Amino acid sequence: VSMEAGSRFGWERYVGLNGRAIGMDEFGASAPAGELMQHFGFTAENMVAVAKDLLD
């Protein structure tokens, strides 16, 4: 699992074909930083959920 506060592009090299990359693939969002982090999944809770999903 990788988490990049930017594009997910290129992370498959590190996480592998079965891994997951959390990142942004769209641009132009405007809101307070905390709301944007939540919207794009940049939270500890989301990181844990993604990791657990991979282990199941």
The whole-number pLDDT of residue 37 equals 93
**29-40 burial string, b = 16+ CB within 10 Å, else e?**
eeeeeeeeeeeb
Angle 46-31-36 (CA atoms, 0-180°, nearest 5)?
15
The whole-number pLDDT of residue 28 equals 87
Average pLDDT on 2-27 reads 92
Domain positions in the chain are: 2-55
The whole-number pLDDT of residue 40 equals 92
Average pLDDT on 18-41 reads 92
pLDDT at 12 over 90: yes
Highest CATH level, class, for 2-55: alpha beta
Query: Residue 4 gets which letter from DSSP?
Result: -
| Predicted structure pTM score | 0.78
* HSE toward the beta carbon, residue 11, CA cutoff 13 A: 18
Element (H, E) at 48: helix 44-55
The whole-number pLDDT of residue 25 equals 87
